[in-house]
A and B are shown apart, each in its own frame.
Chain A
């Protein structure tokens, strides 16, 4: 039986936090027996989620933080990332795969997150900001 592992970190709104969060979940995934491909997908999905939180949510505000929570049990890894921005409606995000959007330089992060995780929920945080909940199951690769 896999031991339940949990951690919570408040990150500054810097690119260094993106690298740190990615390294943390990759290491957690490795230690908890996720395979190499799943570890890559978890790391990439967290990277994209953190970039969205820091750049688009907190707008890299020096006084704003990103709450990061990760837990692992026998079935899956769960991750929650909450920023302190003004929130956004994911339904209003243009599909980057549409012809008219293919040459846009940005807007692909959430698409990659949805491709790499089994469950993705985007909604308002308890205060302001956006809360993203990610779940990756061991036996059910995205």
Chain B
């Protein structure tokens, strides 16, 4: 299953709803393109909603890290929402849970900025 991304705005926060797999190839490219597009448009608060993502490889994790780093350089804060169990396991294994602020409730995520 390929990756689909949709962007919406809630109370000044750009939420990227992702569904599918984030793996090396077109999928990681799509994440990069979406995030960069938002940053170029001046977004300063971004939530990556991974509620529909139940498979991610190390390249996908790397793309999330790149999104975080690139956003940080432009003054944008990136947070995660609805991380599924397999993805959460990988965040634990790689210790990336120490990098990302993660929420399980969208309202709480939006209010946290």
A residues sitting closer than 8 Å to B (CB atoms) are 15, 18, 40, 44, 47-48, 51, 96-97, 102-106, 108-109, 111-112, 115
Q: Complex formed: what's the CA distance from A22 to B69 in Å?
A: 30
Contacts of A102 on B, CB cut-off 8 Å?
65, 95-96, 98-99
Task: Convert B58-80 into 0s and 1s, putting 1 for each residue whose CB lies closer than 8 angstroms to a CB of A.
Answer: 11011101101100000000000
7 extra A-B contacts, CB within 8 A, seeds A48-B57, A48-B58, A51-B57: A15-B24, A15-B25, A51-B24, A102-B98, A105-B66, A106-B58, A112-B57
Q: Chain B contact residues: over half helix, strand or loop, or mixed?
A: helix
> Which residue from chain B places its CB closest to the CB of A114 in the assembled complex?
B93
The answer to the question of B23 belonging to the interface, with a C-beta cut-off of 8 Å to chain A, is: yes
The answer to the question of B33 belonging to the interface, with a C-beta cut-off of 8 Å to chain A, is: no
| Given A48-B57, A103-B68, A111-B94 contact (CB < 8 Å) | yes
Cβ B62 vs Cβ A105 within 8 A: yes
Q: Complex formed: what's the CA distance from A102 to B91 in Å?
A: 11
